């Protein structure tokens, strides 16, 4: 917006200095800047000057770096950005997690510079603004032992071994097979330091012929034992051949001195008349 300043042109003492002085006062009072500062035309015996509004937001940058400047007619005001608080001239980060409590009651708020975000607590799912309980007892999770009972609770769950078994719910069983009553189609085996009844798989359920307990015993115990015995036999045969070969190889002892006992790996020879001896 432009402002008008009118001077009485009939004043006898109107000088350039006085005009400029009055003009400056008018500009300051209007909180503006001089536009073209020209006398446009007489207005009922006076002179008219045009004063343009000063945009402080462009020239002075008076607001905080985290604020926005709003120019008005003859003035301005500052507003802090979203996520900040203050008068616009000084803005500080606003902790929305304390003041606004924006997250779900089952979520947690994390404050950041100029903003925040929410996450759901463990045991809940959602975006943090809306959190729902996770049913850990559903088949999709299957966190408890197959011989325990799962009970869903808000944000968590409990596992309890069925009656007659001991354990923490994640591992259940008996101290030995005698305390269990396995069915005819079940077999008692160790499971996590406890004994349990496991169903004997049908032939159709056996994968590649290695699905039964006997197959596992064959793989884990029998086959390694057979391989070890076979290897031991091979080693003994090779060793025996080496011993026999060593006993059959002839050797030669050359005699160069007379009257001296000659000791070989087949015994001693005192007859020095032999100059060459071959032993078997």
State residue 216's pLDDT score. Answer: 56
Can you tell me whether residue 226 is helix, strand or coil? helix
Average the pLDDT over 252-258 and give the result: 46
Of the chain, the percentage scoring pLDDT greater than 90 comes to: 29
> CA 196 to CA 189: how far, in whole Å?
6
State residue 37's pLDDT score. Answer: 40
Q: Where are the alpha helices (DSSP H) in the chain?
A: 16-30, 56-59, 96-99, 213-217, 223-248
How many other C-beta atoms lie within 10 A of the C-beta of residue 219? 11
CATH number of this structure's domain 95-134 = 2.10.25.10
9-38 pLDDT tens trace: 455 555 556 666 666 666 566 555 544 444
Q: How confident is the model at residue 110 (pLDDT cuts 50, 70, 90)?
A: very high
Among 160-164, 212-216, 221-225, which range has the highest average pLDDT? 160-164
Burial of 88 (0-12, 13-18, 19+ CB in 10 A): buried
Q: Where are the domains of the chain?
A: 2-54, 95-134, 148-200
State residue 73's pLDDT score. Answer: 78
pTM, full prediction? 0.46
Q: How confident is the model at residue 209 (pLDDT cuts 50, 70, 90)?
A: very low
Q: Say yes or no to pLDDT of 214 above 80.
A: no
Q: Say yes or no to pLDDT of 41 above 50.
A: no
Going from the C-alpha of 214 to that of each of 3, 144, 218, 222, 264, the distances in angstroms are 104, 28, 6, 10, 60
Q: Say yes or no to pLDDT of 262 above 80.
A: no
State residue 235's pLDDT score. Answer: 83
């Amino acid at each position: 917006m432009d402002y008008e300043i009118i001077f009485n042109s009939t004043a006898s003492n109107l000088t350039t200095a006085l005009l400029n002085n009055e003009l400056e006062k008018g500009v300051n009072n209007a909180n503006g800047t001089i536009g073209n500062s020209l006398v446009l035309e007489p207005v009922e015996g006076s002179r008219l000057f045009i004063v343009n509004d000063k945009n402080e937001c462009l020239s002075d940058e008076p607001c905080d770096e985290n604020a926005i400047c709003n120019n008005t007619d003859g003035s301005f005001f500052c507003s802090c950005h979203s996520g900040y608080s203050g008068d616009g001239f000084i803005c500080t980060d606003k902790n929305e997690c304390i003041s606004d409590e924006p997250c779900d009651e089952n979520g947690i708020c994390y404050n950041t510079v100029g903003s925040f975000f929410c996450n759901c607590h463990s045991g809940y799912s959602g975006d943090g603004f809306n959190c729902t309980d996770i049913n850990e007892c559903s088949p999709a999770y299957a966190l408890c032992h197959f011989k325990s009972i799962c009970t869903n609770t808000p944000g968590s769950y409990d596992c309890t071994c069925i009656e007659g078994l001991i354990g923490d719910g994640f591992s259940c069983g008996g101290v030995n097979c005698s305390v269990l009553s396995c069915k005819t189609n079940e077999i008692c085996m160790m499971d996590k330091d406890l004994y349990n009844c496991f169903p004997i798989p049908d032939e159709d359920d056996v994968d590649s012929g290695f699905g039964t307990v006997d197959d596992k015993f064959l793989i884990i115990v029998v086959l390694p034992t057979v391989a070890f015995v076979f290897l031991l036999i091979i080693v003994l045969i090779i060793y025996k051949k080496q011993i026999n070969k060593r006993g059959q190889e002839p050797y030669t002892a050359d005699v160069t001195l007379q009257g001296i006992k000659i000791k070989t790996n087949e015994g001693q020879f005192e007859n020095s008349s032999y100059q060459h001896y071959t032993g078997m």
